[in-house]
Structure 1
Amino acid sequence: MDNELNDYEAEQVEKIKKWKNSKPGVVSNAMSKAAAPVASVINAVIPEAAIRGALEGANELGRLLADTKGIVRKSQLNSIEDLRYVDLKICDKLANEVQGWAVGIAAAEGGATGIYGAFGTVVDIPTVTTIAMRTIHKIGLCYGFECKTEEDKQFALGILSISGSNSVKEKNLALAKLKSIHTTIAKETWKKISEKAANNRLSDEATIIMIKKVAKKLGINLTKRKALQILPLVSAVVGSSSNAWFMKEVSNAAKRAFQERWLIENGKIIDVT
């Protein structure tokens, strides 16, 4: 593949830059501020440990549910790896389809569980977390990246961390961590990374630490965004809209993060700053 950026790729670089510099979750933040007086009720119902438990399972379950064969079939290629070397437009088209499905299913799920108020949130947050992780892994497949190592799991969690950010500071810290993980991946061949993941526990322990950090932030932020679900008259609407916005943020973050990784690994750019 030609290492020079074409017009379309250059346009995507600008969009990645804009995404990195944008303030996170304007609509979600507005909802969280409005819900602040009742957020403590949800905090009592869903402790951080529950979020952490959901994340531990959701990352692996999301990877298993990502439907590798379906992406290969839609791309009309022979393997997921082939998507690393095709026209970026093809990858983006596949990712946009995944995004549309994810936003729709998350909204429907949020509306259904929202009917039950605070009790529905107990089911809603673990479920939407699993949908989010599935979406991240599936969008990764659209760009030729299949989760095979602990570093890949950390990369997926890093994307979720960005999506759950409620401030510029939180987002910048999450972006810096994501860049660090990608640098680690890029420094070694896939074979060496696989051997390291199989033969020592360091990367696995790093993933556990990452899960704890993401769970703490995600638990607080999702709780704030969903706190209005305890009010019967608006619970279904809040559940549906907050899930839709959260999943839009997740899928946008996944798309931009994997676009950048694709461009870097194809020698098109060093990174986007």
Structure 2
Amino acid sequence: MFITLKVKSNPGKNNISGNNYILAYHHVERRILPTIARVLPDTFYWQLQYLETQGLYPCTLSNLVENIFPCRNSSQQTVALTFDDGFQCFYDYVYPYLEEKNFSATIFVITEYVGKRNSWDVNFGFKNIKHLDWQQIKELAARGYEIGSHTHRHYNLTQLDEKVLKFELDYSRKLIEDKIGKRVDFISYPFGRFNSKVLRSAKECGYQGGVTLNPFGVISKEDLFQLPRLGVYLWDTKLNFKSKFNKNLGGRIEKAKLQAINFFAMGTIIVNNFR
């Protein structure tokens, strides 16, 4: 089910508590965008360097999940890098940096918008951003990057009836598998929104797990369909980024901030409902 990825080791001093983390990115981009879900390329490169010095190894979501099973030696710390929406900037900036360091990541693509611009999003007058095309996605998959589903049209899944929900989940998974020739195991719920109906449908459609935007959850093999992620944003300082991995007061404050950001992200859903 899962493929082991070899990454460079680094015996640097470890100041991070815990073994496994999942980071959630959207844009890694120099251009000004109408969103805080953006990280400058130079900042992203520093973040990779920091993880490396802490002995935390950036990998795919499948690699991380494999690492938490009891048959594995889970003393090695891993951090799954996940990228929602599958924007072109991944190919332009993230891909070269990860290749340089022999790291990997999971990219969640919106199948209806592959090779198109993000007309599904609220842009406040800014130019829409282009998504990866299928040729780029197939190249990334061939290089060992994991491709997951972000559904077909990026709807709020909790608002859909059973038929449309199943289509969004099942069609996107099968289309990706047909295009890249590899199994799709994970779903990223649009806007981080899910409920019991969504979880049940995801399981029925053949997914092995799903990622949320909840920073307070626990990464556990007992429930792979509510995997927590730590969002990374434009205003994250170096101290903020380091705090994401700590269990002290600073870490709890950072997670509370991420929870608040997720709450206000509901504004995109509300605006889209009136479009």
* TM-score class normalised by the smaller sequence: under 0.3
Structure with larger Rg: 1
Structure scoring higher RCO (CA < 8 A, sep ≥ 6) equals 1
TM-score by length of 1: 0.26
Kindly indicate which of the two structures has a greater share of residues assigned to helix.
Answer: 1
